[in-house]
């Protein structure tokens, strides 16, 4: 197991990460909402990269996992800047971003920060703009008024919070309504049995991307997590194909 390292952010908070050195571009895994680098997909990506001699970076956003901070203080803007700062700190000249769920939205923002250092993207049930389509009108009214909302959590015992800070920041970072200026290869994997993020979101993202090299893989019986052995095998095949290409 690659040891945990800690990066001190300009805020003074420490961000936990695992980094395996190797050939570039480095594979950078971006977890989903309230997720961390100990998840099955992230760990499988790290083990695959090490076996291939590829550099790989796993990380916990502040307020998540082993990093400092409170989740209620997090936002897409903050996590984008943290990840970009960590990539700079590690002096990674080129990266391939893998974004799971919310991480698939965050990777679009990070690509804008990294410019031509971002060589490819892989989205796993990517959820860009979910502040737009993921909430009812009554929930949006509550969030706009500065109140936290809570929803049933099918993946754990505690309800899932959405904080007004996160929601209002997300509203400023919606990307599906205009062209996304990225020209590298993009692979989008989405389960058609996903109860959380409609698979049509991946089709909208594919249309918005400027790149001509975009492929969408729909898994008919795939759920939101895409953590089954066959789902992870598909992810690793796509990563291998990007490297070979």
104-121 core/surface letters (b: 16 or more CB in 10 A; e: else): bbbbbbbbbebeebbbbb
State both tokens at 154: 């099918």
Mean pLDDT along residues 115-143: 96
Mean pLDDT along residues 171-183: 98
What DSSP state is assigned to residue 3?
Answer: P
pLDDT value of residue 1: 66
Q: What is the DSSP string of 189-240?
A: EEETT-SSS-THHHHHHHHHB--S-EEEEEETT--SS--SHHHHHHHHHHHH
**Residues labelled catalytic:** 101, 194, 224
Which residue in 161, 174, 204 sits closest to 73, CA to CA? Answer: 161
> Any idea what the Cα angle at residue 134 is, between residues 128 and 139, rounded to 5°?
135
Question: How would you class 162 by CB atoms within 10 Å of its CB: exposed for 0-12, middle for 13-18, buried for 19 or more?
Answer: buried
* Residues contacting 79, CB < 8 A, separation 6+: 61, 62, 106
Task: Using only the alpha carbons of the chain, give its radius of gyration.
Answer: 17
Mean pLDDT along residues 228-244: 93
Asked if residue 243 has pLDDT above 80, the reply is no
Query: Maximum Cα–Cα distance for the chain, whole Å?
Result: 50
pLDDT value of residue 65: 97
Question: How would you class 24 by CB atoms within 10 Å of its CB: exposed for 0-12, middle for 13-18, buried for 19 or more?
Answer: middle
Ramachandran angles phi, psi of 49, nearest 5°: -60, -45
Mean pLDDT along residues 204-214: 98
pTM (predicted TM-score): 0.97
Asked if residue 68 has pLDDT above 80, the reply is yes
Ramachandran angles phi, psi of 15, nearest 5°: -110, 125
pLDDT value of residue 125: 98
Mean pLDDT along residues 73-81: 98
Asked if residue 156 has pLDDT above 80, the reply is no
14-64 per-position pLDDT tens digit: 999 999 999 999 999 999 999 999 999 999 999 999 999 999 999 999 999
Asked if residue 245 has pLDDT above 70, the reply is no
Mean pLDDT along residues 139-146: 96
Domains delineated in the chain:
5-129+176-244 (3.40.50.1820)
Look at the block and give the residue holding tokens 């990460």: 17
State the angle between helix axes of 40-52 and 229-244 in degrees (0 to 180), rounded to the nearest 10.
40
Asked if residue 80 has pLDDT above 90, the reply is yes
- Please give the mean pLDDT across all residues of the chain: 96
pLDDT value of residue 15: 98
pLDDT value of residue 244: 61
């Amino acid at each position: 197991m690659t040891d945990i390292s800690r990066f001190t952010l300009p805020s003074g908070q420490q961000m936990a990460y695992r980094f395996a050195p190797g050939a570039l571009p480095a594979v950078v895994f971006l977890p989903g909402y309230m997720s961390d680098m100990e998840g099955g997909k992230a760990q499988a990506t790290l083990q695959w990269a090490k076996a291939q001699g590829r550099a790989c970076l796993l990380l916990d956003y502040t307020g998540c996992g082993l990093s400092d901070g409170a989740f209620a203080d997090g936002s897409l803007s903050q996590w984008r800047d943290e990840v970009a700062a960590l990539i700079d700190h590690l002096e990674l000249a080129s990266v391939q971003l893998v974004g799971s769920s919310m991480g698939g939205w965050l990777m679009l923002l990070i690509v804008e920060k990294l410019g031509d250092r971002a060589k490819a993207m892989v989205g796993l049930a990517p959820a860009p703009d979910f502040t737009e389509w993921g909430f009812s009108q009554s929930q949006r009214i509550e969030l706009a008024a500065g109140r936290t909302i809570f929803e049933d959590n099918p993946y754990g015992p505690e309800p899932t919070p959405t904080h007004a800070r996160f929601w209002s920041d997300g509203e400023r970072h919606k990307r599906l309504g205009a062209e996304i200026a990225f020209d590298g290869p993009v692979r989008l994997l989405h389960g058609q049995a996903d109860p959380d993020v409609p698979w049509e979101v991946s089709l909208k993202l594919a249309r918005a991307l400027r790149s001509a090299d975009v492929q969408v893989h729909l898994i008919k019986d795939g759920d939101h997590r895409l953590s089954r052995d066959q789902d992870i095998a598909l992810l690793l095949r796509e990563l291998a194909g990007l490297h070979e290409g």
